[in-house]
Amino acid sequence: METTLLSGKVFAAQLKEEAKRKVEMLQEKYGVTPGLAVIIVGEDPASKVYVANKEKGCHETGIYSEVIRMPEDTDKETLLAEIDRLNHDAKIHGILVQLPLPKQIRSAEAEILEAISPLKDVDGFHPINVGNLSIGKDALVPCTPHGCIRMLEMAGIKVAGKHAVIIGRSNIVGKPMAQLLLSRNATVTVCHSRTENLADITRQADILVAAVGRPYFVTADMVKQGAVVIDVGINRLESKKLVGDVDFESVAPIAGAITPVPGGVGLLTIAMLMQNTVFAAELQIK
């Protein structure tokens, strides 16, 4: 059986095209251009790359973009005041605080993220959005798992009735991925660092999602023939090479479909941020 390569590039382009069309529709119908503000505190090099990609995504889709660069030693009150200003700025429909935050304010991360208006919370980290997702109400959903679900839809991969196994239970990826798959009628198992007999469980997966943060963690013996394998991991090796959580070389021949790294889920995440910004604007117009 042929393995399908699920190219992030192809699906991200479709998601951005769809976002662009919706931006044009909102401009025509309501005279509103969706706006995204990204706050970056300090000089984390990886964050700078992500922020540049987000700006590019806005440019491509016609979303108004603001990047607010704050110094490394910014205190909590100053950051909260900036979020408050953006919460009241009519040009801005989505607010994102780039993580990780510098050390002196890292312990206040939850308070800072909760200060973002739930209607502008395009990362979907606010407890209101987390709660709405879990009870099946309209919610802004974290971009990475949301992008994975949209990719499955676009690829025509059936989810209902399938056994989906997720490795990882973070608030950013694992848990919302579980909610999204459950809401689409998959039978969902969430594995984590304390799971026993992990390979026995992953071998039962029709859809296997790896969000662990360990290079080459998922090996061929952990995957059922024909499974759909979604690799969320982004790991930088000492050699600077970027690899996922899945040992692509050995797993790809067994999988029915698989996402590569790079060129997979990472691209979907950015595209989904554009979609979330448009959706946030729609919610605010309502």
Minimum CB distance to ligand NAD smaller for 26 or for 181: 181
Q: How far apart are CA 190 and CA 161, in angstroms?
A: 16
User: Active-site residue among 121, 123, 231, 247?
Assistant: 123
Q: How far apart are CA 67 and CA 62, in angstroms?
A: 15
Minimum CB distance to ligand NAD smaller for 26 or for 251: 251
Least Å distance, CB 88 to ligand NAD, is: 29
What residue ranges in the chain does DSSP mark as E strands?
4-5, 35-41, 64-70, 94-97, 163-167, 187-191, 207-210, 228-231, 235-236, 242-243, 257-258
**CB-CB neighbours of 71 under 10 Å:** 10
For the chain, the distance separating the N- and C-terminal CA atoms, rounded to the nearest angstrom, is: 48
Q: Which residue is nearest to ligand NAD (CB)?
A: 170
Least Å distance, CB 264 to ligand NAD, is: 7
Among 87, 235, 250, 284, binds ligand NAD (CB under 6 A): 235
Among 172, 178, 205, 228, binds ligand NAD (CB under 6 A): 172
48 to each of 37, 42, 68, how far by Cα in Å?
14, 9, 12
User: Active-site residue among 22, 98, 121, 275?
Assistant: 98
Residues touching ligand NAD: how many (CB under 6 A)? 23
22 carries an active-site annotation: no
Tokens of 245: 């959580």
Least Å distance, CB 267 to ligand NAD, is: 8
- Helices 265-285, 45-61: axis angle to 10 degrees equals 60
Counting contacts by CB under 6 A, is residue 193 touching ligand NAD?
yes
Counting contacts by CB under 6 A, is residue 234 touching ligand NAD?
yes
By CB under 6 A, the residues from 131 to 160 that bind ligand NAD are 144
Among 87, 132, 170, 183, binds ligand NAD (CB under 6 A): 170
Among 26, 83, 122, 167, binds ligand NAD (CB under 6 A): 167
54 carries an active-site annotation: yes
User: Active-site residue among 16, 54, 120, 175?
Assistant: 54
Provide φ and ψ at 87, rounded to 5°. Answer: -60, -30
Least Å distance, CB 68 to ligand NAD, is: 22
Q: How far apart are CA 271 and CA 15, in angstroms?
A: 6
- Contact between residue 36 and residue 58 where contact means Cβ atoms under 8 Å apart: yes
Point out the residues that are catalytic: 54, 98, 123
Binding site for ligand NAD (CB under 6 A): 144, 167-170, 172-174, 191-193, 195, 198, 211-213, 232-235, 265-266, 269
